[in-house]
Structure 1
Amino acid sequence: MKFHKVKFLIVLLIVALVAAGCSDSGDNSSGNENDGNTEKGGELNIALNASPPSLDQPATAAAATRDTAMLMYETLVTVDAEYKTVPMLAETIDLSDDGKEYTFHLREGVKFHNGKEMIAEDVIASMERWLEQSSLTGNIFVDATWEAEDDYTVVLTLAAPSALTLDTLATTKQAPAIMPKENIESAPAEGVEEYIGTGPFKFVEWKQDQYIHFTKYEDYQPVEMEASGLSGKKEALVDDIFMHIVSDTSTRIAGLQSGEYDFAYDIPYDNFEQLDNDPNLETLLVPSANAVLKFNNVQGIGSDFKLREAINTGLDLDEIMMAAFPNKDFYWLAPGYMDVNLSNWSSDAGSEYYNQNDPEKAKEMLEDMGYDGEEFRILATRDYDYIYSLAVVIHEQLTNMGINSKLEIFDWPTLSQMTENENELGSWDATISGSSIVSTPPQLISLSPSWAGGVNDSFIVDTMEDIELAKDHEEAKELWDTLQLYAWEEHLPTIQLGGFSKVYSLNNKIKGVETLVGPIFWNVTVEE
């Protein structure tokens, strides 16, 4: 079989997105370069707003897992600052002429945190587990096989070619983290319990509801390539990172101002100006995600399309988004499931059904469908301020439409369990979440066949498969426009509320923080 070489900078999908922030510095980094006066070493104390449900990266799409686990786990390929797909643990990749066979030539001498060298058997075990665990792999890898030619060569064989293969392997949600084979084989059904990767930091301990501790991995083997996004050279320039679980907003802010914390997640938008004007702090405003109202499409009254249609007709999305993001610089209204900045995929299809803001018509629709006051249960959390704020206003608007809305508040891990556990599907009708920026439609959790009960619609599932297996991007984009229109017009698995940026804040002594799919803490130093 003939092959052609895929160069080190592999690009199967060029996505015109630079995750640029809107802080005063005008970029998505801390704005301060490391210089000769900066001492390496020390520790970073980071205030997380929510505890991750797990550190088992392939098993959950939670942002808190992504942002913590990527310190210690790496993947075969990853994304640079422009969301281009580039190798990480693979050194080069060969692609067969028929597009079905990918040969990954692994970097040699890469060691896991337990001292074992990474070889093909570890990659194969990890990738097979990822295909079992992840809800984002779609149909590209159905009947795919992973085989070792030797200790440093792994061959992926697909049943059908797809131009989205490498991009999907580079996903940051439920990322296909490479772990030792024996670690995977000994893991219980609940997930891996020994967190061992190849990244610049290694896991030390997790004190539940207190902190997660990582330390510098002295034997880390960086890629000799300029750092960009999640790719290129990574260096652990601090000795220790403590991810503190600080769900209370005022405690995160007070700790940041006192110097107890060096970096804080999810700063409330009401506090943006206060912290932005503090000479000892810096703020980062970074495009992050779409806010979505996700319906239970499987059980309960949320599975009734007519009810979903009435709710979509009546909601005032500007009022909802303004409640969570009290400045129009923090959010934007757009009907697209894909982020508006992704020129290859952004779509206005179905815009006539977006933000109709007609509560009187919604009341008529409820009456016509025979709605008689059944309870409509919305799950939300205070661990993410924006989710709670969105939920409160949605609850109020539904009540004013005549829907018997009940708002139920849980911590984030509990809420995640309730929406991901099939046995809990009967306990809720809708939930609010963020759908973070992804580079292809099949990675959208809001259209996943498994997330939170799944879309429960064969047309969506089948069309997504057609997108995955389309012969080129033009065909895939036409299919995507058709699918997005159908989602708004015929099914409504979610209501896309709008896009938003997140606010982070850090002390000025911290240098080199970049952001892409969350903050990046390698290549970061602390001034003494």
Structure 2
Amino acid sequence: MVVSRFKSVLGLLIMMLVLAACQSTENESNQANGEDTGSGESEELRVSISIQPPTLDPPMSTATKTSHVARNIFETLVTLNAEYQPVPMLADTIDQSDDRLTYTFHLREGVLFHNGKEMVAEDVVASMNRWLDISAGGKLLEGAVFEEGDPYTVLLKLETPIADVLEIMADHVQFPAIMPKEIVDTAEASGVTEYIGTGPFQFKEWRQDQYIHLEKFEDYVAVDAPADGFSGKKEAFINNVYFMIVPDPSTTFAGLQTGEFDIVYDVSNDQYEQLLQDEALSTRPYHFGSLILSYNKKEGPATDQKFRHALNAAINSDDIMQAGFVHEDLFEIDSGYMTKDRTNWYSDNGSEFYNQADPEKAKQLLEESDYNGEPITLLTSRDYEFIYNASVVLQEQLEQVGINVELELYDWPTVLEMRQDPELWDLHINGTATPVTPSSLLFLNYDWVGWPEHPKIDELLAGIKDAVDQEEAKSHWDELQEFAWADYLPISILGQYSNVIVTTDKVVDFSEFEGGFLWNTKLVE
């Protein structure tokens, strides 16, 4: 009897162990496939991006892929809410002096870097002063300096009042990522050698041309406020994120169909209509910014203002944008330097010089210019198919009015490198994200592609910074956009456009705000 009872108990124990092992195996299998295990977390999220970022050091690059990946790793003193207003992030509160020359940032306490060190004022000061030195946004705050008040207080001291200083700091392009002081101090000319921030994900591995692996930061300290744009509470529900570098659109498309990818940041515009028909996918267009034609104003024929206006008169934006973006959902014919969603700043001044499609006017201006038929180099890449297609149509339009255009094709990282050298190009089409304030427009910055330089631009940008209210600032901006189109012509706006992010039906709570982010995103079955 005792033996029989012992055998029954033993059998039950064995059965329970087998069931437990089966359940454990099933959970491991689910986690390996990125499935929700009931804990609210998923093991793996796979995101496809079309090109490799040049760096993950945000102040070093204006590349959108740098921002898309790095914003999950690094945070900033202030950031943008969904209304494009600057609000505190690593700062807890911000005070402004009566003379508008000093901003005091009271830091959140207990915030940890990914190496376990607490963030304090010396880290913020080192990071922000580096940003001032090397970024386009930082250089807008000429003469500014960040100083330590105490371990949890940082002071920004300005030489003159700057009305939009917090907007400049909150911009998501070349953003001022906060890093440990020792990382900043050992940064090389090419950037930092370690990617350590305070964000909800930490850098794990970068296999060149294959993937970038981020990992959930278990000790992340979130803001106690509702999620709102880039601001508010951030929570990582995914243990491992892989940004897969997949240049081929057909491979990306097939990966969506098979479930190899959960999120795709770059889909071919040719595939947009087909993607709309797939009920298992969510297509998420988000307004990105402007497609622009940059002129090399430092060397070559485009230094001649008449020549630039001749090119601008020849441009048919309808044909260029249709070639680049295919579907009417994805582009808009509009002349604004600041796009319509930036409601405080949008202007249509100078619109009569946009999308003229006037070959005869172009030929007349060309005769009045110094152009003598020499080859004009149009720098482009097939890594972004919309840029390449737009470049091909522009080449045709310019050749029709007598401009000898040579299309030079490279991969995108090479284009980014070559366009820094004024001896290597004359024209270049690229997309630029719309900033929060006109002060941050890259194509009005001396150091950016094309090297714009004119005292009138300086005067009107200074007027925006010195303005006492939005009405005064907007009047300066209206005048500047009019001057840019009618006179100096630093660039030609080709149109406004949206990018498309596609997610599978397993992805929930993903926000495509300004190109998307992965905190608060979940995977479900």
SS at match of 2:393: helix
Question: What is the number of residues matched between the two proteins?
Answer: 491
Alignment of 1:55-204 (within 5 A): 55-139=56-140, 141-204=141-204
Structure 2 CA distance, aligned partners of 1:509 and 1:67?
21
* Equivalent position of 2:4 in the other structure: none
* Equivalent position of 1:11 in the other structure: none
Kindly indicate whether the alpha-carbon contact (under 8 Å) linking 2:46 and 2:242 is maintained by their aligned counterparts in 1: yes
1:87-130: CA deviations, max 9, x gaps? Answer: 00000111111111111110011111111110000000000000
> What 5-or-longer segments of structure 2 have no aligned partner?
1-35
Structure 2 CA distance, aligned partners of 1:154 and 1:295?
40
Alignment of 1:7-406 (within 5 A): 39-139=40-140, 141-406=141-406
> What 5-or-longer segments of structure 1 have no aligned partner?
1-34
Structure 2 CA distance, aligned partners of 1:369 and 1:201?
54
Kindly indicate whether the alpha-carbon contact (under 8 Å) linking 1:44 and 1:241 is maintained by their aligned counterparts in 2: yes
Comparing both structures, which one devotes a greater share of its residues to helix?
2
Kindly indicate whether the alpha-carbon contact (under 8 Å) linking 2:301 and 2:370 is maintained by their aligned counterparts in 1: no
* Equivalent position of 2:476 in the other structure: 479
Kindly indicate whether the alpha-carbon contact (under 8 Å) linking 1:162 and 1:471 is maintained by their aligned counterparts in 2: no
Structure 1 CA distance, aligned partners of 2:95 and 2:361?
57
Kindly indicate whether the alpha-carbon contact (under 8 Å) linking 1:295 and 1:429 is maintained by their aligned counterparts in 2: yes
SS at match of 1:490: helix
1:43-101: CA deviations, max 9, x gaps? Answer: 11111011111111011111000000001000000001111111000001111111111
* Equivalent position of 2:431 in the other structure: 434
Kindly indicate whether the alpha-carbon contact (under 8 Å) linking 1:38 and 1:526 is maintained by their aligned counterparts in 2: no
Shift of 1:413: 1.2
Could you tell me the percent identity over the aligned residues?
Answer: 46
Kindly indicate whether the alpha-carbon contact (under 8 Å) linking 2:294 and 2:450 is maintained by their aligned counterparts in 1: no
* Equivalent position of 1:407 in the other structure: 407
Structure 2 CA distance, aligned partners of 1:444 and 1:434?
12
- Which structure would you say has the larger RCO, counting Cα contacts within 8 Å and 6 or more residues apart? 1
Matched, 1:516 2:513: yes
Shift of 1:480: 0.6
Amino acid at match of 1:358: D
Structure 2 CA distance, aligned partners of 1:108 and 1:90?
9
Kindly indicate whether the alpha-carbon contact (under 8 Å) linking 1:38 and 1:527 is maintained by their aligned counterparts in 2: no
Kindly indicate whether the alpha-carbon contact (under 8 Å) linking 1:137 and 1:443 is maintained by their aligned counterparts in 2: no
Shift of 1:36: 11
SS at match of 1:426: coil
Kindly indicate whether the alpha-carbon contact (under 8 Å) linking 1:145 and 1:157 is maintained by their aligned counterparts in 2: yes
Structure 2 CA distance, aligned partners of 1:432 and 1:362?
19
Structure 2 CA distance, aligned partners of 1:137 and 1:149?
21
1:184-204: CA deviations, max 9, x gaps? Answer: 111111111100000000001
Kindly indicate whether the alpha-carbon contact (under 8 Å) linking 1:449 and 1:461 is maintained by their aligned counterparts in 2: no
Per the normalisation by structure 1, the TM-score is 0.91
Structure 2 CA distance, aligned partners of 1:126 and 1:466?
28
Shift of 1:261: 0.9
Compare CA radii of gyration and give the structure with the larger one. Answer: 2
Structure 1 CA distance, aligned partners of 2:521 and 2:328?
31
* Equivalent position of 2:21 in the other structure: none
Shift of 1:372: 2.2
Structure 1 CA distance, aligned partners of 2:198 and 2:500?
30
1:13-46: CA deviations, max 9, x gaps? Answer: xxxxxxxxxxxxxxxxxxxxxx997841211111
Amino acid at match of 1:282: S
Task: Give the stretch that moved more between structures: 453-462 or 490-499.
Answer: 453-462
Root-mean-square deviation (CA, aligned residues, Å) is 1.6
